[in-house]
Structure 1
Amino acid sequence: MSLNITYKFFLLVFSLFLGVTQAQEIQVLDQESGQPIFNVAVFNADKSKATVTDFDGKCDISAFERQERITFKHLGYITYKVTKNHLRKIGSKALLAPNAQQLEEVVMSVSRWEQQKKDVPQKITTVSAAAVSFTNPQTSADLLQSTGQVFVQKSQLGGGSPMIRGFATNRLLIAVDGVRMNNAIFRGGNLQNVISIDPFSIKNTEVVFGPGSVIYGSDAIGGVMNFYTKGPEVSSLDSLKVKGAAGYRFASANMEHTGHGEISLSKGKWGAFSSVSFSDFDDLTMGTRGPDSYLREQYAARVNGEDVLLVNDTPEKQLPTGYDQLNLMQKIAFHPSNRWQFDLGAYYSETSDYARYDRLIRPNTTGDGLRNAEWYYGPQQWFMGNLQAYNKARGRFYDAFKLTAAYQNFQESRHSRRFGNDERHNNFENVDALSINLDFENKRMKNFRWYYGGEFLYNKISSNGYAENIETGAAQGIASRYPDGSRWESSALYFNSEYKAQPNLSLLGGVRYSHVWINTRFDTTYYPFPFTEEKLSTGALTGSLGLSWFPKADLQFTLNGSTGFRAPNIDDMGKVFDSEPGAVVVPNPALKPEYAYNVEFGVRKNFGDVLTLRGAAYYTYLVDALVRRDYTFNGEDEIWYDGELSQVQAIQNAANAFVYGFEFGLDAYLNENLTLKGNLTLTEGEEKDKDGTHVPGRHVAPTFGDFHVIWRNQRVKADLFVNYNGEIPFDDLAPSERSKAYIYAQDANGNPYSPSWTTLNLRSQWLFANHLKVSATLENITNERYRTYSSGIVAPGANLILGVDYVF
């Protein structure tokens, strides 16, 4: 009996000893990403005991007493205090929350090299992988919209066209890992290309507001959206290191089912990263409280070989809007030494067919039916192969250089058929795009840091079309959307510099010269063009100069002046008879670049590390704006096209334009758990034709903003927030928007307008066992029925989003 008691006593003591021993080593992790944090200072109240975490976020705290209060401090995180005894109870893990107050954040999109965000005079918004995980966006367009600072238009569910400071589409530049996605057929109408980027694969996103032409050339007038994707973590360990993640998401408004998986392998000098995502979206359901004119009360269907109108039993369901999408990414990294790095990436995205919803709800000329029985995009496919060589060995004229070579292929198609007509028109486009960038960094001079480089771009367009009888299968050729075989080329040299005039004053400036060539050949088989070939050779010089000044440590002023340009592309010069509502757009070879002149002023004030206020004001003037205006074709201002007498229009350098606005933001850190965040954007703008006519700008978004109340602890994060959009009255609608009255509500006078709207939303995320995250979001809690400005599709009604992510 005594032996048994002795044994149990010994076992109890041993167990307690083992528990205490295991508790001596703790690990410090990022609360949002679950990743270990290196170099965290760990100390007691009088700092008589101190240590730091290693590369795995681990440290030994055996020197601390059980009830002693331990402080964890890191520059990029909110300071955390806890007792050693409590650490043992919660699994010997300390979770630190990122500190958004820090100005030491590094950005790359302004110079292609790492710079301190606080030294950059332009406004930049960043979105981390942890923020993406928390907001859980369906597409990268939704990711941009979640910032509260980028307005997004949607013509259909499979879409998302960002608007920044009164500019959109081909006046904004999209880049992936530093490679421009914009190609020679990016149009002035709304674009869906941003949805090709998988939000699950994003490491961080940087949105640069205002012209970015010095670094990115043509198209970067209103801003730059640069998506940096995840990759392998190459280590020097000889053993194989494996990391990965898997996730699933469901959304009730469109019955979304999305699955994602990724895995990272590293051994020695090699690393590999693989990512795959698949999403299936059903038809989108709108809210119940709002204009009845938004309801989908009838839709076209094919019954017994004839088009008929059917009554929609559930008019809140937008038929048809569903589609699916596949995203793949593979990266391989080879780092043979501390000086050399080689990174190879392959990206692929493909959608199914998806309906152009705004064209399917357009009424016919008599108003008693629908104009189109079919209007859909074929699969949108995007492939990119990207090879980057990086060398940081100091040369005579540089400290480091990067060579980036990329090939991209874009495939898209349009398919339309009039109601009651058996003939479907099909147009197919294919773009092959090559790019080479050589970027140098030199920071050998005392207070100067230089960046310079060159770029070459080449696009070739294949375009064809045919009409088919859906009953007999008979087919015949029709005019292609673009001149088949057209070429667009650009070469550029740029120089950028950063001067640290004083510890609290930084100056940034740069200049770029770009030259663009276009070669098109028009086919006169279907239309008697007054020209058969057109060539364009034009250059553009752009520059920027700005400063970032801290008169006090808690006060920052920024001032920046810059120019931007957009050279005509194939869509501007050579679009062959594209039908618009009530009009037909024809080619115009007599085009030249448009130029933007921009100035912006910003201020940021920190009140005792509790409240931060931000503000910015800007003004942009656009000269020789490329706009769609009335035109003539062979002397006629109206022609019959697709069975309808249509007004002839073309893209022309027919206007100047101005845009100005104000942007405000706040971050309030009330305590370790409670945070307030908000954004508000006000934009105004007009186009002035050279005949003196003034019209509202088409891409000037309404006043919009958001306000968030965020609560978090070590395991839970919750965000109660409001999204707001202001009204655009009839008088402020652009003429092209007034012609699309069927997507707008009616005011008291029967005129189309865009009503204001507000939604209440709740987002939450739970972290379990440091590896498993569960999220739940309820969007549009009050089930509002609203349509964002210029959008064809109505936004989701009450929407429950559930997600689960496992990291290993």
Structure 2
Amino acid sequence: MRYLQVLMAGFMMGPALTFAQQAEVAIADTTKVLPEVTITASRHKSDIATSPYSVEVLSRQKIEEFLYRSTPEALMAVPGVFVQKTNHGGGSAFVRGLTGNQTLTLIDGIRLNNSTFRYGPNQYLNTVDPFTISRIEVLKGSGSVQYGSDAMGGVVHIITQDPDYTSVSKFSGLAGGRYWSRDMEKTGRGQLVYSSPRLVALGGLSVKDYGSLFGGDTTGKQSPSGYGELDADMKLKWKLKEGMELIAAQQFVKQNNVPVFHKVKLENFALNEMQIQQRALSYLKFSIAGKNPFLQSISITPSFQQTAEVRRSQKNGNPSIRREEDGVSTVGALLDITSKFSQDWTSSSGLEYYYDDISSSKSDLNTSSGASVQSRGLYPDHSTYSNLSVFNIHQLRLKRFNLEAGLRYNWFEATIKDETLGTVKLSPAALVVNLGGNYKIASHNLHASFSSGYRAPNIDDMGTLGIVDFRYEIPSYSLKPERNYNMELGCRLKFNQWNASMTVFNNQLTDLIARTKVENEVISGYNVYKKENIEKAVIRGADLRLQWLPSKHWDLTAFTAYTFGKNLSKSEPLRRIPPLYGNTAIKYKLKKFYAAADLSIAARQSRLAQGDIDDNRIPAGGTPAWEVLNVFAGYQYNKLQIRLSAQNLFNEDYRTHGSGINGVGRSGLLSCTYNFN
């Protein structure tokens, strides 16, 4: 009840669009509404107001002003997105109740998801440095036609910085640092940009030292939870000639000694950590604009991505230290073609190909005797996974209507080299469609859509052998794709000083891959599970966002989201469904100064599946409700930008549902950035 009262008070104060869209606003006077925001979530440029799908945008300005520590933590500012943190070095986005390998993450159009992405929360989103982000687009309830497998909940598309060409050659850049009280963060960032009429080059380096996280009220220091991180990024843009461009980009992140706090706290581990969490992405993008309407633009993007994860664990009183190492090397290629058949009829089509090569190993070192024993890793070593698809999407404008329809066909081939069964090959395939329409009435828009989606079984589904969370998993080689059918209705309303949007959705899921317990089997003290296509489920819900702009200086915002999930096969709640949650924010801005406050809130989540009840990260009876108030301020002095934040003013002791660590308690954060040009 307290949550609802606070939320309603926030709506009365001045409800809103998402934090991200505030950053896109330029208000000339109080009688003008928000301008259109251009998005690329459906593989073509369009206005967010007339999109037939539910799309949110989180801007770089909002990420900077609200001093988000990590990319997943920033996504809590987006309606319909909830974030679970297994550890301080993780963070997994739930889009309409789904996460892990059921939600797709892209970086500059390239899949972050690979064939070892696991069901449920994972840490991969935290390997994206927020300093490199230009904006994040979240496509909710759709994405399989646009981007392929895994987009059953939606798509999180991270778009990195893209400096513009300049009329004269010049250098610009920044140097800055952040400090969080109690030594919870010490971060430095340097960035240099060279721009000219035909060439742009950007290089950046981030060095981060995170101390153990202090919780609120009675929690205190949550040790061990801190870790170190190094990020490097580069982007080169070369205008070969008018209408022809080449982009080369490189991203690298390495995180060291990331503790899994709840394992140490609750499961009798003396040591449990990601010793190394590493990702590197390189890509080239060649694009050319043509005069032929059937080939208005073409882009080709080859890419190479490597991820590495080294886990170390040791039980109390046990001299043996286990070291597990998994690596994935991914070669990718994208072909995108835009056609314009008439002023009102365009299409996006293309080919995508990804090839994963997996390495996996495990060793146990006896610290007393020095003996080391090698054994099979979590995944079958030298397994491969191919992903090839073709898609075609059409956009049509008919007076007040904006219509979109598309389809994608996807082929997969998994080659799993099992030590016991030998080489196993599987070739699943999927065909999906989407249909959407938007109807414009004056400055208001109504939209409806239907999207079918899928997730092909991956190496993690089929080949896992070992301890995962609080269970022991064994391989399963007879799986087929999961499928979903999402329907949604929504509206976007614009008035002189008010903007509002609301979406309701219903997502039917079939052939879900679920873990089934193998009776009377226990390995290393853990119950044994395998995966099968045995479940059906439904997820339905709604999100509401409002914004009030009483003057050019004030911006008052609020949103709330509700998700209901039911496992139809077990007649119980679906696992890990987020509670009712929301955010209310107020911001005052002058030319060189801004001040803001935001109140994040979540209701109690007591609708638990049996798997939630068995999960030691979720308190008995469910996750309690919480309200957290933060305040922010910033001032621009010449070329120096100073930002301050006071986090969790009331020192609330809280945890986002399903997380393995509590949120930060009362604390302060200082950020200073010097910009030069």
- TM category, shorter: over 0.9
Q: Which residue of 1 aligns with 2:430?
A: 540
Tell me by how many angstroms 1:551 deviates: 1.8
Q: Distance in 2 between matches of 1:107 and 1:345?
A: 21
Give the CA deviation at 1:211: 2.1
Q: Indicate yes or no: 2:145 matched with 1:241.
A: no
1:285 is matched with 214
Quick one: which amino acid aligns to residue 295 of structure 2? Y
Letter of the 2:36 counterpart: E
Residue number in structure 2 paired with 1:593: 481
For 2:336 and 2:595, locate their aligned partners in 1 and report how far apart those are by CA, in whole Å: 42
Matches within 5 A, 1:319-398: 319-363=223-267, 371-395=268-292, 397-398=294-295
Aligned to 1:699: 576
Judge conservation of contact 1:486–1:518 (CA < 8 Å) in 2: yes
Deviations 1:325-350 (A, max 9, x none): 11100111111211100000011000
Aligned 1:163-562 pairs, distance under 5 A: 163-235=94-166, 237=168, 240-252=169-181, 255-288=184-217, 295=219, 316-363=220-267, 371-395=268-292, 397-502=294-399, 504-524=400-420, 531-553=421-443, 555-562=444-451
Letter of the structure 2 residue corresponding to residue 588 of structure 1: S
- Equivalence for 2:585: 708
Query: C-alpha offsets along residues 763-806 of structure 1, whole Å, 9 cap, x if unaligned?
Result: 1111222x221111111100011111000001100021111112
Q: Distance in 1 between matches of 2:328 and 2:119?
A: 17
Aligned to 2:625: 756
Indicate conservation of the 8 Å contact 1:103/1:117, yes or no: no
CA contact (8 A) 2:282 2:304 kept: yes
Quick check: 1:641 aligned with 2:590? no
Instruction: Find out whether 1:776 has 2:644 as its counterpart.
Output: yes
Residue 734 (structure 1) aligned to one of 609, 612, 629: 609
Aligned residue type for 2:292: G
| Partner Cα distance (2:51, 2:468) in 1 | 43
How far does residue 254 in structure 1 lie from its aligned partner after superposition?
5.1
Q: Could you tell me how far apart the structure 2 residues matched to 1:400 and 1:438 are?
A: 11
User: 1:557-579 deviations in whole A, cap 9, x for unaligned?
Assistant: 11011011000000000001234
Query: For residues 705-761 of structure 1, what are the alpha-carbon distances to aligned partners after superposition, in whole Å with 9 as ceiling and x for unaligned?
Result: 0001211122221112211011012xx1122221134x344xxxxx43110001111
- Deviation of residue 146 (structure 1)? 2.9
Q: Is the 8 A contact 1:232 1:265 kept in 2?
A: no
Decide whether aligned partners of structure 1 residues 471 and 287 sit closer, same or farther in structure 2, where only a CA change above 3 A counts.
same
The runs of 5 or more residues in structure 1 that have no matched partner are 1-31, 34-74, 82-98, 290-294, 296-315, 364-370, 525-530, 632-636, 746-750
Asked if the contact 1:594/1:623 (under 8 Å) is kept, the reply is: yes
Contact residue 258 and residue 277 of structure 1 kept, 8 A: yes
* 8 Å contact kept, 2:258–2:275: yes
Contact residue 233 and residue 264 of structure 1 kept, 8 A: no
- 1:605 is aligned to 2:493: yes
Distance 1:278 1:469 in 2: 34
Secondary structure of 1:753 counterpart: coil
Counterpart contact for 1:630–1:649, Cα < 8 Å: yes
Is 1:620 aligned to residue 507 of structure 2? yes
CA distance in structure 1 between the aligned counterparts of 2:132 and 2:257, rounded to whole angstroms: 23
Which string of whole-angstrom CA distances, capped at 9 and with x for unpartnered residues, describes residues 448-486 of structure 1? Answer: 011111111100101111100123322011221100011
Provide the identity percentage: 26
Secondary structure of 1:353's match? strand
Q: Could you tell me how far apart the structure 2 residues matched to 1:611 and 1:266 are?
A: 39
RMSD between superposed Cα atoms in Å = 1.9
Alignment match, 2:657 = 789
Figure out how many residues of one structure are paired with residues of the other and give that number: 655
1:130 match: secondary structure: helix
Superposed CA offset, 1:242-294 (max 9, x none) = 111122111125520111111110234222100111110111111115xxxxx
Distance 2:29 2:46 in 1: 28
Letter in 2 for 1:538: P
CA contact under 8 A between 2:27 and 2:33: conserved in structure 1? no
Residues of 2 paired with 1:211 and 1:125: CA distance? 13
Distance 1:332 1:160 in 2: 30
Cα distance in 2 for partners of 1:571, 1:161 equals 17
Cα separation, 2, equivalents of 1:672 and 1:579: 52
Name the structure 2 match of 1:106: 38
Tell me the amino acid that sits aligned with residue 797 of structure 1: G
Residue of structure 1 equivalent to 2:532: 652
The SS at the match of 1:482 is coil
The higher relative CO (CA closer than 8 Å, separation ≥ 6) is in 2
Q: Does the CA-based 8 Å contact 1:253-1:797 persist in structure 2? A: no
Shift of 1:374: 1.3
- In structure 2, the CA distance between the partners of 1:717 and 1:100, relative to structure 1 (3 Å rule), is farther
What is the one-letter code of the residue matched to 2:407? V
Q: Which residue of 2 aligns with 1:84?
A: none
Alignment match, 1:577: 466
1:68-127: per-residue Cα shift (whole Å, max 9, x none)? xxxxxxx9621169xxxxxxxxxxxxxxxxx9953421111211x322222311111112
* Offset of residue 234 of structure 1: 2.5
2:592 maps to amino acid: R
The aligned counterpart of 2:6 is none
Counterparts of 1:493 and 1:463, CA distance in 2: 31
Q: Secondary structure at the match of 2:628?
A: strand
User: For 1:259 and 1:725, how far apart are their aligned partners in 2?
Assistant: 32
Say which SS state the counterpart of residue 666 (structure 1) adopts: strand
Residues 50 and 445 in structure 2, CA contact (< 8 A), matched pair in contact too: no
Taking a change above 3 Å as real, the CA distance of residues 705 and 76 of structure 1, as seen in their structure-2 partners, is closer
CA distance in 2, matches of 1:205, 1:629: 36
Cα distance per residue 1:187-236 (max 9 Å; x no partner): 01321111111111111111111120112100011011111111343235
Q: How far apart are residue 694 of structure 1 and its match?
A: 1.6
Cα contact 2:77–2:583 (8 A) shared by 1 = no
Distance 1:579 1:227 in 2: 28
Supply the AA of the counterpart residue of 2:367.
I
| 1:66 corresponds to | none
Distance in 1 between the 2:427 and 2:79 partners? 40
How many Å separate the matches in 1 of 2:33 and 2:365? Answer: 60
Conservation of the 8 A alpha-carbon contact between 2:276 and 2:311: no
Partner amino acid, structure 2, of 1:779: Q
Q: Which amino acid aligns with 1:552?
A: A
Taking a change above 3 Å as real, the CA distance of residues 233 and 396 of structure 1, as seen in their structure-2 partners, is: closer
Q: Could you say which structure has the higher strand fraction? A: 2
Hey, what's the Cα distance between the residues in 2 that align with 1:514 and 1:148? 30
Is the CA contact 2:465–2:472 (under 8 Å) kept in the aligned structure 1?
Answer: no
Question: Bigger radius of gyration, 1 or 2?
Answer: 1
Shift of 1:516: 0.9
Deviates more, 1:786-795 or 1:262-271: 262-271
Shift of 1:676: 1.1
Q: Counterpart of 1:7?
A: none
1:800 aligns with 2:660: no
What are the superposed Cα offsets for residues 162-191 of structure 1, whole Å, 9 maximum, x if unpaired? 111010011111111111110010001321
